[in-house]
Chains A and B, each alone.
Chain A
Amino acid sequence: MAEGTGAGASREAVDAPRPDAALPDAARPDAPRPDAARADAARLVAGLPPAPAIWCAGLRKGYGRRPAVRDVSLEVARGEVVGLLGPNGAGKTTVIKMLLGLARPDAGEAMILGRPSTDPAARARVGYLPELFRYQPWLTPAEVLALHVRLAGASVPVAEQRDCLSLVGLAGRTGDRLGGFSKGMQQRLGLAVALVARPELVILDEPTSALDPLGRADVRDIVLSLRSRGVAVLLNSHLIGEVERVCDRVVILDSGRVAASGSLPELLGRREVRLHLTELGPAAEQRLGATGVVERVGDWFTVALPADDGPGDGGPGGDGPTGDGLAVPDLVRDLVGLGARVHAVEPGRISLEERLLGILRAGTAGRPTEGEQ
């Protein structure tokens, strides 16, 4: 995905409809009457798609001399679920904090739901579960939710707040003080806090770090339900499987930079086939090499397949083996024709984890991955 182009285009879309930007023109003597200009501007705004849930460009942040984030640009569309991946210290949490106005960027700008992130009103419809989740230990879960509803300036009936606690499995503990809560329970409460004020954007920073497998499944269901309701989600998680299951798009950060980004089909488009071959002549080897990059371990050959080989029947995100278009049957037919003996053919799909590791290792070796930028 062309991240830079997308971000630039949306920037214009964001800037153009702002009514205050239209006023100076309206004030010129040759301009139409202000009322008419304002009405025109309003019509223009009404006809435009809503601004992205998150848009940021050129974000930079350093702590002392150590740069934590260098030039990060990303975008999350309305209703989109985007996963933020990367190793420890990649700058994921710092990016999130800058988006929420909790940390001041050294450079760059960010817009949340169409407003500059420096404006507190931008966060009116944002729910946030911090990586370091801690809530007032002298309050009860019901009181914490009531506090956050009040701070958000929202009006959410008590019954709906209680439903929110039920959703995260805290229905039976609404009246207990948080002081006695386990970390997992506090993280569940954090999730309820992020969801309670009817957000249009939810930012979850490691939402399952303290949860048991059941809790993780709950979070997955919650994210999927948010997506179905058109709520945008930015999900920072170390659990790649989790990201792979729920995210439309993934942004991979490494050493404070966007190492790669794209939709899952884009990132996982590369497929491969493992072949167990013997009596492989030079012509057959050449045929293998013509298909794609070959890795050999003994008699086992792993061949990367071209990305344009047609989609398989499993599709990205499916768990079963994918169909392989025509590249694999053609390859096997040719190899047999060239005298090789084919013992096994195992089609495979590169997992997001392998892809992530590949990108990060390439970054470590000083070879930037430009393809997805």
Chain B
Amino acid sequence: MSTSRTVLTIAALTLREASRRRVVLAVAGLTVVLLALSGWGFSRLAAEAGESGLTSGEARLTASIVLNLVMFGFSLIAALGTAFLAGPTLSGETESGIALAVLARPVRRPAVLLGKWLGLVTFGTGFVVVAGLAQCLVVLVTVDYWPPQPAVALALLAAQTVVLLTLALLLSTLISPMASGVVAVGIFGATWIAGVVGGIGSSLGNDAVARVGTVSRMLLPTDGLWRGAMHAFQDPSALVQMGGDEVGAFPFLGVAPLSPGYLAWAAVWVALVWAVAAASFQRKDL
């Protein structure tokens, strides 16, 4: 069987699994609730701003911060969802025996892994883009704010999801399904915290502490991509309003856009981790 046919068959199967196991339904329900709540919150914000006489700049800053906060919620849902989907889909199938019948067919294991990855990428990025776009529209309707670079922001959020699910896929070739989800989400959280710590370090002018954030962003690019996404969601005046350099300590504003070098590193990171996952899966005894 041709490799591309295997990849597409397994990708379609992974998507069908997400839909049949009601993962799509659960995530959609959660998204609708979050959108409704944020819609209510933003409309209250607009009303308060009108009553207390916030300047338009202050209103934009508030909208930027709250938008980033809600987007963080979506990125969490996407991260948790894909990490906990990626674990069971590979190591769970190996444990239960589902993989035995599939891998005894004339298929190459890396092709099966690529199919799983593609299915999960489609699911994760699809969710981030649809939910993120809906959230932008909610903000537009309620407080009349439209992010400066919505496409870049959503693409970076999607890239963050891809990074995390690739890590979860690698872990699922090495450890048990439940452990792989927990470890992936744990590392994701730790990197985010390291990013905040690094931000505090740079705002205090402490290079050693600032380096914590830099190193963690290289080791796992989720936090770096998230900060790039925030920068693309927020109003350019927000940074000035918050007070220049010290804004680095604030977790819901991005200080600078991502450099092409960092984006390239993120792509290389995904390719490397995927290759290690493929090598590990190829060598695995079932």
Contacts and interface: CB of A to CB of B under 8 A. Distances in A.
B285 A150 contact: no
A13 interface: no
Contacts of A124: 1, 106
B96 A102 contact: no
Given A132-B100, A136-B98, A104 B106 contact: no
A147 B14 CA distance: 12
B1 A135 contact: no
A148 B96 contact: no
Interface string B1-35: 11001100100010011001100000000000000
Contacts of B96: 132, 134
Contacts of B208: none
Contacts of B5: 150, 153
B133 interface: no
Interface stretch (A115-123, A215-223, A258-266): A115-123
Contacts of A120: 106-108
Contact of A134 (B2, B98, B105): B98
Contact of B104 (A104, A126, A138): A126
A148 B2 CA distance: 14
Nearest to A126: B104
A153 B1 contact: yes
B97 interface: yes
Q: How large is the interface on B (under 10, 10 to 19, 20 to 34, 35 or more residues)?
A: 20 to 34
Nearest to A152: B105
Nearest to A151: B105
Contacts of B285: 97, 102-104
Nearest to A122: B106
Given A97-B285, A123-B105, A138-B17, A132 B97 contact: yes
Interface in B99-153: 100-108
Interface in A150-188: 150-153
B107 A151 contact: yes
A152 B106 contact: yes
B12 to A, nearest CB: 9
B286 interface: yes
Interface in A96-136: 97, 100-104, 120-124, 126, 128-130, 132-136
B89 to A, nearest CB: 11
Nearest to A129: B101
A138 B20 contact: yes
B13 A147 contact: yes
A133 B101 contact: yes
Nearest to A127: B104
Interface in B74-101: 96-98, 100-101
Given A121-B106, A151-B9, A130 B20 contact: no
A129 B100 CA distance: 9
A340 B21 CA distance: 78
Contacts of A128: 100-101, 104
B106 A123 contact: yes
A102 B104 contact: yes
B11 to A, nearest CB: 12
Contacts of B286: 97, 102-103
Contacts of B283: 104
Contacts of B100: 102, 128, 130, 132, 134
Given A104-B283, A122-B106, 13 more contacts: A97-B286, A120-B107, A123-B105, A128-B100, A130-B104, A136-B98, A138-B17, A139-B16, A147-B13, A148-B105, A151-B102, A151-B106, A152-B1
23 contacts: A101-B103, A102-B285, A104-B283, A120-B107, A122-B106, A123-B104, A123-B106, A132-B97, A136-B13, A138-B16, A138-B17, A138-B21, A139-B20, A147-B9, A148-B105, A150-B5, A151-B1, A151-B105, A151-B106, A152-B105, A152-B106, A153-B106, A193-B101
